[in-house]
Amino acid sequence: MSIRVAKTGNEAVAEAMRQMRPDVVAAYPITPQTEIVQIFSGFVADGLVDTEMVTVESEHSAMSATVGAAAAGARAMTATSANGLALMWEIVYIAASMRLPIVMPVVNRALSGPINIHCDHSDTMGARDSGWIQIFSENAQEAYDNTLQALRIAENPNVLLPAMVTMDGFIISHAMEVMEILEDEKVREWVGEYVPENPLLDVDNPVTIGPLDLYDWNMEHKRQQAEAMVQSKAVILKVAEDYAKLTGRRYGLFEEYMLEDAEVAVVVLGSTAGTAKVVVNELRKQGVKAGLLKLRVFRPFPAEEIAAALKHVKAIAVMDRSDSFNAISGPVFAEVRSAMYGVQSAPAIVDYIYGIGGRDVTPEHIRKVYDDLANIAARGKADRILTYLGVRE
């Protein structure tokens, strides 16, 4: 039986971490992730969890200590946001290449500059090629559920990759909502005992971790890393299936909302998906065949599955909460349109960059996107690829 509680996104993730009982958490506080570290270190101080809490002096050290602990054979976690993730950068790639199944909640915040503490996805989108699995959450419930699932995905022997679980800064991290949590014993059972593959602390079987790897083998190792990401897709679905048995809550690579017979559809990730659902419901009442695809898993990118889910739609709008500054589009658009290439009579597809630096996105904004889509669907073409939603210019 689940327990119905009122929690903010940060409280939900700190609770998940307490229940998961990682051996080591090394973290440095940064707005809006700070509360996760604050609440979790409170759990440690109160003896509610026996994690070794390492308070480091920077995020570079947080990720370094987490990598060290994971390489030693510990179940290790950290958490960060924005510039904290940026400061980890060097070690973020190393964690992935060392195939360490670290789970890291990331509370999405705009990367400086100009300095800003509010939500956009520029931080994790920047890390999309780092070799980490990336799972996005719509609300506090999903942040909790995704954190629990990420551990099983990351530690699967066919995967052994680190995983980021995101939630939108402030919008979710600091907003209290209704959600359900599992009992401690259920989570204990869910995460199970961790058996690391080649732990440094297994002195009877000494291994070298992180040696120089030049042109004789480096490419093979990177190829294995790429293959692990390919393999992870099936594992993500299997873990979701097991999680549904445990909780009744079903997850996939993405969520299809009123998409089956949709003529116009929005592709979106994070909290805006919830706002967009309200608009879809209204449009459906007015007889508009509006649908929504909420991307949950951005890495691995479910290209074939997305193409199959969207091929019947007449016009698609991708919503990007970060910019690539590539003079074309945001990052999600680039991947979604690439996924649609080769689809017979492919739908028209456009991009909206929105919500930068925490700019509010209202149902009215999203209604405008669907209005534009109706127009594009009727004409069979779009005049331009990219629109900045709600910007003053």
* Closest distance of CB 148 from other proteins, Å: 21
11-50: contacts with other proteins (CB under 8 A): 32
CB of 358 to other proteins, least distance (A): 9
User: What's the length of the chain?
Assistant: 393
End-to-end CA distance of the chain, in Å?
52
Q: How many CB atoms lie within 10 A of CB 360?
A: 11
Could you tell me the smallest distance in angstroms from the CB atom of residue 250 to other proteins?
A: 16
4 binds other proteins (CB under 8 A): yes
The residue within the footprint of other proteins, chosen from 90, 112, 129, 178 (CB under 8 A), is 178
What is the Cα–Cα distance from 173 to 33, expressed in whole angstroms? 8
Interaction between residue 271 and other proteins (CB under 8 A): yes
Q: How far is CA 134 from CA 149, 162, 265, in A?
A: 12, 9, 23
- Smallest distance from the beta carbon of 371 to other proteins, in angstroms? 18
Amino acid present at 385: I
Contact region with other proteins (CB under 8 A), list: 80-88, 199-207, 268-276, 374-382: 268-276
Q: Which is nearer to other proteins, 141 or 324 (CB)?
A: 141
167 near 173, Cβ under 8 Å?
A: yes
Alpha-carbon gap, residue 302 to 330, rounded angstroms: 17
Task: Give the nearer residue to other proteins in terms of CB position, either 32 or 131.
Answer: 32
Comparison of 244 and 278: residue with beta carbon closer to other proteins: 278
Candidate residues 21, 72, 89, 174; the one interacting with other proteins per rule CB under 8 A = 174
**Spatial distance between the Cα atoms of 124 and 105, rounded to a whole number of angstroms:** 11
Per-position b or e across 318-348, b if 16+ CB within 10 A of its CB = bbbbbbbeeeebbbbbbbbbebbeeeeebbb
Q: Is residue 171 involved in binding other proteins (CB under 8 A)?
A: yes
We find the least distance from the C-beta atom of residue 365 to other proteins, in angstroms, to be 8
Query: Least CB distance from residue 312 to other proteins, whole Å?
Result: 25
CB 273 → other proteins: shortest distance, Å? 8
Cα dihedral value 6, 8, 13, 17, nearest 10: -60
Q: Which is nearer to other proteins, 32 or 196 (CB)?
A: 32
CB closer to other proteins, 251 vs 301: 251
Contact at 8 Å (CB) between 48 and 99?
Answer: no
Is 369 a binding residue for other proteins by CB under 8 A? The answer is: no
346 binds other proteins (CB under 8 A): no
Distance, CA of 294 to chain centre? 12
Q: Is 167 helix (H, G, I), strand (E, B) or coil?
A: strand
Cα 152 to Cα 165: distance, rounded to the nearest angstrom = 13
Residue 277 touches other proteins, criterion: CB under 8 A:
yes
The window from 193-201, 328-336, 355-363, 375-383 that contacts other proteins (CB under 8 A) reads 355-363
* Whether 101 contacts 73, CB under 8 Å: no
The per-residue DSSP string of 6-73 comes to EEEHHHHHHHHHHHH--SEEEE---TTTHHHHHHHHHHHHTTS---EEEE-SSHHHHHHHHHHHHHHT
- Contacts with other proteins, 283-322, as mask; x by CB under 8 A: ----------------------------------------
Minimum Å distance from CB 152 to other proteins? 27
Which residue, 116 or 387, is less far from other proteins as judged by CB?
A: 116
Does 362 contact other proteins by CB under 8 A? yes
- For other proteins, the binding residues (CB under 8 A) are 4-6, 32, 117-118, 138-139, 168, 170-172, 174-178, 271-272, 274-275, 277-278, 360-363
